[in-house]
Amino acid sequence: MAGISGAEQGATARARELALRGPRGVNPQVGAVVLSPDGRVLAEGWHRGAGTPHAEVDALSRLTPAEARGATAVVTLEPCNHTGRTGPCAVALLDAGVARVVYAAADPGDASSGGAQRLAAAGVEVVRADEAEGAALIADWLFVQRTGRPRVTVKWAQSLDGRAAAADGSSRWITGPEARAHVHRERSAHDAIAVGTGTVLADDPQLTARIEGEPDAPQPIPVVFGERGVPGSAALHRHPRGFRTAGHELERELFALAAAGIQTLYVEGGPTLASAFIRAGLADRLTVYLAPTLLGGPRTALDDLGVGTIDEQRRLTVTRLEQLGRDLLVEATTESEQ
């Protein structure tokens, strides 16, 4: 990285590690490292959630005024320039007498951006680090800022002839243990997991991420779409994070989920819900497990997508192909991600 010292490169990598200690939610995950003029680490900090000190302020709070004066602050996100629940980080850095600021991703907010410019105007040396790595750290949060909704992954498993179940409705198991283990990792990697009420009534799913050897794996919040109620005996009532209910107006419900701090949603609710998200143009990524088996019959993996002619087909970009035991994993993105 041009203009960045070795100590600052190391601090940038460390700041990204620190950022991941913070929770995912309405605010981005941000980490900060403060270096002395000779490159020694003086303090570290990260953002612990809405209403708590931002990463820069958290790190500065661990220093004396003499230690902070003339130091370099290395941050994963451009210092903010507005007053919300907390004051502007750019001002905090100026008040502390920091001489140099190295940051990665630019702040995309209309109100909160401009911190780098403010610092530079006040005489602080401001340097941009690797923007791509900084943006990758908060890619899902940036997606929410751009669209107002979580990034949506729609998942399904199907036979080679496109069926999700046999003619009698039975579907356990189309895929093998390797594919099913991969699904649990995908669940854990998302903030929330969505099913329809039909799936809850028919299958009584747990919707937990069960990963061998990882009893403390992150758990997605279940979201049940539909108008019918969830029975009191349903397994969802025993989910470690409880569950949310949502109606049929998908876009409005997605906006509400984003406002609640959900950045990614894993749709695992059967053909009706999967098709609804795709039909509405709200599916950003597709994860499909192809099993080398034939079922025939009417139980197709997707319902009507609103495609009347070949010119209306929904073209995808395949981003990954992988063999999982006997099954094939296909990952693709839709036009919203291209």
Distance CA 336, CA 205 (A): 30
Give the separation between CA 200 and CA 22, rounded to whole angstroms: 32
Residue 108 token pair: 């995309």
Do the annotations mark residue 86 as ligand-binding? no
Residue 268 in marked binding region? yes
CA distance 4 to 197: 53
Per-residue pLDDT tens over the stretch 221-230: 999 999 888 9
Residue 50, helix vs strand vs coil: coil
- Cα–Cα distance for residue pair 222/33, rounded to 1 Å: 36
Report the percent of the chain where pLDDT is more than 70. 98
Could you tell me which residues are beta bridge partners of residue 196? 225
Residue finishing a domain among 98, 126, 144? 144
Residue 23 belongs to a domain: yes
Is residue 214 part of the annotated active site? The answer reads no
pLDDT digit string (tens) for 293-334? Answer: 999 989 999 999 999 999 999 999 999 999 999 999 999 999
Taking all residues of the chain, what is their mean pLDDT, rounded to a whole number? Answer: 92
Look at the chain and report how many structural domains it folds into: 2
Q: Which pLDDT belongs to residue 50?
A: 82
Task: Assign 3-state DSSP to the chain and report helix, strand, coil percentages, each to 5.
Answer: 30, 25, 45
Side-chain half-sphere CA neighbours of 298 within 13 A? 4
Q: Domain range holding 221?
A: 148-337
Domain assignment present for 1:
no
Structure confidence by residue, pLDDT tens digits, 58-113: 999 999 999 999 999 999 999 988 777 777 899 999 999 999 999 998 888 766 77
- Confirm whether residue 270 is marked as ligand binding: yes
**Do 220 and 98 share a structural domain?**
no
Q: Considering only CA atoms, which of 295, 285, 293 is closest in space to residue 328?
A: 293
In the set 44, 56, 78, 331, the catalytic residue is: 56
pLDDT of amino acid 1? 46
Measured distance CA(288)–CA(327) in Å, rounded: 10
Query: At residue 36, what is the residue type?
Result: S
Whichever domain contains 137, its CATH number is 3.40.140.10
Is the pLDDT at 336 greater than 80, yes or no? no
Q: Among candidates 51, 44, 118, which has minimal Cα distance to 78?
A: 118
What's residue 82's pLDDT? 76
Residue with the larger pLDDT of the pair 203 and 116: 116
For residue 87 the two structure tokens come to 């004051």
Task: Check the annotation: does 208 bind a ligand.
Answer: no
Q: What angle do CA 134, 251, 256 make, to 5 degrees?
A: 70
137 and 166 in one domain? no
pLDDT tens digits, 266-278? 999 789 999 999 9
Q: Label residue 176 by pLDDT band (50, 70, 90).
A: very high
> What is the residue type of 19?
A
The verdict on 246 and 265 lying in the same domain is yes
Question: What's the pLDDT score for residue 338?
Answer: 52
Provide, rounded to the nearest whole percent, the portion of the chain with pLDDT above 90.
75
186: pLDDT confidence band, cut at 50, 70 and 90?
A: very high
User: Span 114-122, mean pLDDT?
Assistant: 93
Q: Over the stretch 15-33, which tens digit does the pLDDT of each residue have?
A: 999 999 999 988 899 999 9
Out of 95, 115, 144, a domain closes at: 144
Q: Is 89 assigned a ligand-binding role in the annotation? A: yes
- Residue 152 shares a structural domain with residue 258: yes
For the record, the structure tokens of 259 come out as 């406002």
Residue 2: pLDDT over 60: no
